[in-house]
Each structure stands twice: as C-alpha cells, then as structure tokens.
Amino acid sequence: MNKSENICDLAKALMVVQASLAPAKRDSTNPYYNSTYADLSSVWESCRVLLSKNGLCVIQGNRVGAESTLIVETFLIHESGQWVQSELCLPLSKNDPQGVGSAMTYGRRYGLAAIIGIVADADDDGNAASAKNSNGNVRAIVQNGRPIATNQPIRNSVNIR
C-alpha cells in the first residue's frame, strides 16, 4: 500500500465512515457455485453516501501487468489531498475483451471493499485460499514451475496444482 506523507485527516474521516458502515448486500447470484455475493454496485451503494459526507472519494484505474494479468489500482482520497493507494494483480481468465472486463469488475469490487473496510463476502476461514486437494491436504502453490514458501510474496500469476 502506498500513501501520502500524512494521512491523519483521511484516517479520521475513514474512522467516521467505518463506524456507520454496514456490510454490502449479497444480492447477486453465482450460478456456477450456487452462492450469493455483493456485486460492484452493492459495494458502492454501501459506502457512496458516507464517503462523500466525510470528504472522501475513490478513484480506480487499470493497467496491464506481466504474463496476462491486469492490475487494478484503487485510490482513497481525502478532500485535504491526503491519499492511500492499493493494487490488486489479477490473472486474466481469457485474454480477450470479456476476460479483461471481468477482471476489471472483480478487481474494482475487491479493491473498493478492501480500501474502505467493507464486508462484502462470506468468511470461509481461509478454506478456498488454502487450496486443499481431495484428500484434505494443502496443495503446494507453484510459481514458475517451482513450489514457493508460503511466507514469500507472489509477484506473478500463480498456478495451483
């Protein structure tokens, strides 16, 4: 995360927002997983008014990353000029306009929720992230064909085997 030299005014305003923030409504359905989720519109609706009332705005942009990835940048900016910025690097499911659009929407939704502190999805206690195989063991995370230690930062897209 990057930030301006001072973020005390931004932090005070965000504290007020977070004190009144409700979880985003999970009113969209994912037919592939038979689950509900908060779409980008729901995440925005959970915070838009509170942000503007407290002198905060969000700007999001995109850039192409290495090896068929898209980087979504999210800035939270206070009226004082103070800011924080976060990036999310996403693999493209398809290397075409639909794949890019899908990654953009997904990244904007998660980037917005993360930078504001919005609860938007059910907490699965890390089960999906632990990548368990069928016998209950955690599968190794592989980068560039080699297993990586779990405490190492992941710089490129990750293949889970």
- Mean pLDDT within 148-153: 42
pTM above 0.85, yes or no: no
Q: 23-79: per-residue pLDDT in tens?
A: 888 888 888 888 888 889 899 999 999 999 999 999 999 998 888 999 999 999 999
The predicted pLDDT at position 95 comes to 87
CA 67 to chain centre: 20
Mean pLDDT of the chain: 82
- Mean pLDDT within 125-139: 57
Q: Could you tell me if 56 and 78 are in contact, meaning their C-beta atoms sit under 8 angstroms apart?
A: yes
Q: Is the model's pLDDT at 156 over the cut of 50?
A: no
Residue 115: pLDDT band (50, 70, 90) is very high
Number of H helices, E strands in the chain: 3, 9
Residue 101: pLDDT band (50, 70, 90) is very high
Pick the closest to residue 45 from 21, 28, 62 (CA basis): 21
User: Could you give the percent of the chain with pLDDT greater than 70?
Assistant: 75
CB atoms within 10 A of CB 3: 14
Q: Is the model's pLDDT at 103 over the cut of 90?
A: yes
Token pair of 48, please?
Answer: 């838009």
**What is the secondary structure of 84-108 as a DSSP string?**
EEEEEEEE-SSSSHHHHHHHHHHHH
The predicted pLDDT at position 118 comes to 92
Q: Tell which wins on pLDDT, 38 or 92.
A: 92
In the chain, what is the straight-line distance between the N-terminal and C-terminal CA atoms, in Å? 29
